[in-house]
Amino acid sequence: MSSREPARNMSIIVTKGTLDWAYPPFILATTAAAMGLDVTMFFTFYGLGLLKKDLDLQISTLGNPAMAMPMMGMHVVMPNIISAIPGVDAMASSMMKNLIKKKGVASIEELRQAAVESDVNMIACQMTMDLFEFKKEDLIDGLTIGGAATYIETATKCDINLYI
């Protein structure tokens, strides 16, 4: 342990919107807030979808070459090619959701609610909203809407800046 002052502020850039990629930013943001840090999350590109009022998150087996799901006491890897088969991603998503429930892992909805309750500052990227045609009313309440400069200003005041 060094003797320097512990960090008091953290920011996270959230760029991905699948069920699996939604976990790291929300887990780290809520935990940091619980440990007394001021936290800002900047949601851009596919990450913006995590701010929609109604979430129905899916995972993709494509581009997840290391994904291995526990099945019947073994680990079964999901080769990229099977994502081309209709219904495979939906099946993998429901398997993941069952595991999440069974293992006492929080849902993304629950973690997002915890983030809101612990005053995590959430910035929705204006450019992404224009690009993918999201309206303010599609997203949860209490967001700041801003751009890169809004995020950078926050980041200059943060001890920890993460990109996920």
How many Å apart are CA 93 and CA 89, to the nearest integer?
6
Question: Where do runs of H (alpha helix) occur along the chain?
Answer: 19-34, 88-102, 108-117, 126-131, 148-155
Helix axes 88-102, 19-34, angle to 10 degrees: 30
How many Å apart are CA 64 and CA 86, to the nearest integer?
17
Single residue of 105, 143, 155, 164 touching other proteins by CB under 8 A: 105
Binding residues for other proteins restricted to 15-54, rule: CB under 8 A = 27, 30-31, 34-36
Does 164 help bind other proteins (rule: CB under 8 A)?
no
Least distance to other proteins, CB of residue 118, Å: 8
**Backbone dihedral angles phi then psi of residue 163, each to the nearest 5 degrees:** -125, 120
Least distance to other proteins, CB of residue 53, Å: 22
Eight-state DSSP code of residue 58: -
Does 106 help bind other proteins (rule: CB under 8 A)?
yes
Q: Which stretch binds other proteins (CB under 8 A): 70-78, 98-106, 129-137, 148-156?
A: 98-106
Single residue of 53, 75, 103, 135 touching other proteins by CB under 8 A: 103
Least distance to other proteins, CB of residue 106, Å: 5
Longest Cα–Cα distance of the chain, Å, equals 55
The binding site for other proteins (CB under 8 A) comprises 6, 27, 30-31, 34-36, 103-106, 111, 114, 118
